[in-house]
Amino acid sequence: MSPAIIFQLHLVLGYVPWLLCFGAYVWPKLKSMDQVEAQRAIATLHSFRFFGLVFIVPGVVGPNLPTGFAISAAYGDFATGLLAMLALLTVRIRPLFWLFTIAFNVVGTVDLIVDYYNGTQFDLPGFAGQLGATYAIPIIYVPLLMITHVAAFYLLLRPQPGTARAIAGDAAASTDA
């Protein structure tokens, strides 16, 4: 089997164990948590995305890793990590916390989609050996990042039980008047 096929197989199979683990252990806990605490947990994971800068460190990756892929992946991860850290730092200032939470999830999701697109455009599977020490990032780390972005958006968009009660209470109060 060629290294390119092994890399593509790794990319796809990287999602399977994370989805199984996430579904069994992480998702039930996140759904039961307070909205802010669940988003903080996700932001904590994404705050480590500064590590993506390693894609542009000579000696860690091979000299022939396509720069169009490496630079985009590195700075997209870096921006996402900084936004996640800002979300964590502003948790007590709720409007800023929510702004940074939405921002890191949007930027992070777009980054991963662009990375997959660039990986295809620059034939990343053909250069899999050039990933060097970063090989594990797209195989092990990226699936978890994408899964948690999807979970974060779901949690952001689902109706909150307290919100529904407050709206119902407001509606009842306005009909009594």
Domain boundaries, the chain: 3-158
CA angle 61, 18, 108 (to 5 degrees): 60
DSSP 50-87: GGGGGGG-BTTB-TTS-HHHHHHHHHHHHHHHHHHHHH
pLDDT 10s digit of each residue in the chain, 177 long? 999 999 999 999 999 999 999 999 999 999 999 999 999 999 999 999 999 999 999 999 999 999 999 999 999 999 999 999 999 999 999 999 999 999 999 999 999 999 999 999 999 999 999 999 999 999 999 999 999 999 999 999 998 766 544 444 444 554 555
Closest Cα to residue 119, out of 165, 73, 176, 74? 73
Closest Cα to residue 41, out of 51, 50, 31? 31
What are residue 61's DSSP bridge partners?
A: 58
CA separation (Å) from 48 to 3, 42, 52? 28, 11, 9
Integer Cα distance of 134 and 174 in angstroms: 59
